[in-house]
Amino acid sequence: MYGVAKSDFFTGSLLLILIGVTILNSKVFGVSTEGKVLLKTIHVVIGYVFATNLIIRIIIGFIGTAHERWSKTLPFHKGFKDELVKFSQHKKVAYMDSTWIP
């Protein structure tokens, strides 16, 4: 699920960038005034979808299942402070997480 959400985010971001570049270069691409208005409308709708998705993800972080909560999303687990200190001192340390298999 995480990979799919990540891929959707990058696809949506690429779509927004392409629409923005098309709007900015509408004269070069020969986009009419009506087409430019349509592109702006699509751009706004996609922005609202992103904002809604962000709000839902924040809410799910508080009320979701055990795997969706902030405690699983944020890296503040037992031993995080020690790992952070070692990392800031540029020591070469292998960091273990829940998906690490020896």
Whole-number mean pLDDT of the chain?
77
Please check whether residue 46 is in contact with residue 16, taking contact to mean a CB–CB distance below 8 angstroms: yes
Mean pLDDT of 67-96: 71
pLDDT for residue 1: 45
The CA–CA distances, whole Å, from 16 to 1, 10, 23, 57, 79 equal 23, 10, 10, 20, 39
pTM score above 0.95: no
- Select the more confidently predicted residue: 95 or 35: 35
Mean pLDDT of 31-46: 88
Mean pLDDT of 89-96: 63
pLDDT for residue 66: 77
